[in-house]
C-alpha cells in the first residue's frame, strides 16, 4: 500500500498574503521532496511556485528549507527526511507564523533564508549573483593571445578540487552574517574567490584584483566563523574553511 505523507508548505503571493498550506501526497518508493512538489502542483494547486532544473543535485536551483534545514529538494528522499542526521547548531530559520507543525508527521517546506521571497519557495537570487560577479570568477585572455593553453598538474588540480564542486545553490547563505548584513559578500562567493586565487593558472594581476574584493569590510573580515556554511553545503565545499584560508594566506589575520 502506498504511504501518505503530510506537507506543511509556506505560501507567499508576493502581494502580502503569507500563509501555510497543508497537502497530503501518496509516496511511492524513492520519491524525493521535489517529486512531491510536482505532485502537489499537478493534482492540488498549480500555482505553487518553486525552482528546479536538473533534478540531479547538479544545477543548484532547488534549494529550500526543509524541516528547518537548508537542503536541495531533489536530493532528499521523503522516506529519509525524518531520520536523516541533521547539521548541528543551525540558526533559527523563521519565515512567518505557521500553524502548529507536527514535526513527527509533517514535512515543513519553506524558502531559502536571508533572501527576498518572490513567490512561495522562489527567492530573489540577484544579490547572490551580483556578489558572485564581483569576485570575477573567471580567467580571460585577449582574443589574439597565441600563448599555448595553460595546463595543470594533478596536485595543482587537487588543491582546488573541493572548491570546484560548488554548484552555486545558495544554501550557505543561511549564514547568520548574511542574515544581519545584506552587504556580506557571502560564503559561496568567498569560496569561489579562494578557488581562483589558488588556481595555478592565475596571473599575479588577477590575484591582486580578487584579493582587493575579498579584503573589503563586508567580505573576509565580516566572517564571524560560525561555519554554518560548512555544515549545510550539499557538496562538501567547506566555504568557512576556504574563508579561514583566505584570511591566513592573504590578509593580516
Ligand atoms: S558553497 Fe556549497 S552551499 Fe554554498 S553555494 Fe556552493 S554548493 Fe551551495
Ligand atoms: S533540481 Fe538541480 S539541484 Fe535540484
How far apart, in whole angstroms, are the C-alpha atoms of residue 172 and residue 157? 24
Question: How much is the average pLDDT of 9-37?
Answer: 96
Residues contacting residue 226 through CB under 8 Å, at least 6 positions apart: 91, 175, 176, 177, 240
* Contact (Cβ atoms closer than 8 angstroms) between residue 221 and residue 251: yes
Beta strands in 174-235 (DSSP E): none
Provide, rounded to the nearest whole percent, the portion of the chain with pLDDT above 70.
99
Report which ligand 2 atom has the smallest distance to the Cα of 60: 3
Radius of gyration, alpha carbons of the chain: 20
Question: How much is the average pLDDT of 226-230?
Answer: 98
Strand partners, 3: 27
CATH 3.10.20.30 boundaries in the chain: 3-123
**What's the 171 CA to ligand 1 centre distance in angstroms?**
6
Report which ligand 2 atom has the smallest distance to the Cα of 62: 4
Residue 150 buriedness (CB in 10 A; 0-12 / 13-18 / 19+) = exposed
CATH 1.10.1060.10 boundaries in the chain: 126-250
CATH code of the domain made up of 126-250? 1.10.1060.10
User: Architecture of 3-123 per CATH?
Assistant: Roll (3.10)
Give pLDDT, residue 253: 54
Give pLDDT, residue 1: 79
Give pLDDT, residue 57: 98
| pTM of structure | 0.95
Amino acid at each position: 500500500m502506498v504511504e501518505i505523507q503530510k506537507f506543511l508548505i509556506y505560501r507567499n503571493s508576493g502581494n502580502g498574503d503569507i500563509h501555510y498550506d497543508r497537502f497530503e501526497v501518496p509516496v511511492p518508493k524513492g520519491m524525493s521532496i521535489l517529486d512531491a512538489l510536482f505532485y502537489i502542483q499537478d493534482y492540488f494547486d498549480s500555482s505553487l511556485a518553486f525552482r528546479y532544473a536538473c533534478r540531479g543535485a547538479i544545477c543548484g536551483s532547488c534549494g529550500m528549507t526543509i524541516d528547518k534545514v537548508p537542503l536541495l529538494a531533489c536530493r532528499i528522499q521523503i522516506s529519509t527526511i525524518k531520520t536523516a542526521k541533521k547539521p548541528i547548531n543551525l540558526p533559527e530559520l523563521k519565515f512567518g507564523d505557521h500553524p502548529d507543525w507536527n514535526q513527527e508527521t509533517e514535512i515543513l517546506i519553506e524558502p531559502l533564508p536571508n533572501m527576498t521571497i518572490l513567490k512561495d519557495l522562489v527567492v530573489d537570487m540577484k544579490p547572490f549573483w551580483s556578489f558572485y560577479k564581483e569576485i570575477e570568477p573567471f580567467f580571460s585572455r585577449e582574443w589574439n593571445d597565441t600563448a599555448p593553453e595553460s595546463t595543470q598538474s594533478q596536485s595543482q588540480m587537487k588543491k582546488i578540487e573541493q572548491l570546484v564542486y560548488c554548484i552555486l545553490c545558495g544554501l550557505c547563505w543561511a549564514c547568520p552574517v548574511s542574515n544581519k548584513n545584506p552587504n556580506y559578500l557571502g560564503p559561496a562567493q568567498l569560496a569561489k574567490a579562494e578557488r581562483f586565487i589558488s588556481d595555478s593558472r592565475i596571473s599575479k594581476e588577477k590575484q591582486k584584483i580578487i584579493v582587493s574584493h575579498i579584503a573589503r569590510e563586508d567580505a573576509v573580515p565580516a566572517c564571524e566563523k560560525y561555519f554554518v556554511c560548512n555544515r549545510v553545503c550539499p557538496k562538501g565545499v567547506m566555504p568557512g574553511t576556504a574563508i579561514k584560508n583566505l584570511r591566513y594566506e592573504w590578509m593580516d589575520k
